[in-house]
Amino acid sequence: DSGVTQTPKHLITATGQRVTLRCSPRSGDLSVYWYQQSLDQGLQFLIHYYNGEERAKGNILERFSAQQFPDLHSELNLSSLELGDSALYFCASSHRTEGRAGELFFGEGSRLTVL
């Protein structure tokens, strides 16, 4: 158990809909990352938050948005869903201070299926 909690674990929805994925980081971790993994692909970085502030953006579509709340949990919002958005979405957290790198702890992922 990594200590990172993601909900829901599985989600099936239709094209055009909107979903919200939730992530609770490990206790004390200030950084939250979101990654997308399409079938048999590597992990693509979406966005990074540190202590409530957006720190870096990757290949995140304009239809997607995220935020990190004062209690440090994060939500990834996916709207106007398309078939190609079907993927495993990972959240990872890290107890990183500025200028120090360390390992990321991953949640079990949220599997999104768009029909």
> What's the token pair of residue 4?
């990172």
Q: Which is nearer to other proteins, 71 or 98 (CB)?
A: 98
Residues 50-79 binding other proteins (CB under 8 A) are: 50, 55-56, 58
Distance in Å, CB of 100 to other proteins, minimum: 8
Rounded CA-CA distance 24/8 in Å is 12
- The secondary structure of residue 80, as a DSSP letter, is S
Residue type, 32: V
Binding residue (CB under 8 A) for other proteins from 19, 48, 66, 114: 48
- Alpha carbons 106 and 94: distance in angstroms, whole number: 9
H and E: helices and strands count for the chain: 0, 11
Question: Are the beta carbons of 37 and 45 closer than 8 angstroms?
Answer: no
Closer to other proteins by CB, 22 or 55: give it.
Answer: 55
Show contacts with other proteins in window 2-41 (CB under 8 A).
Answer: 33, 37, 41
108 binds other proteins (CB under 8 A): yes
The contact set with other proteins (CB under 8 A) reads 33, 37, 41-43, 45, 48, 50, 55-56, 58, 88, 90, 92, 96, 98-106, 108-109, 111
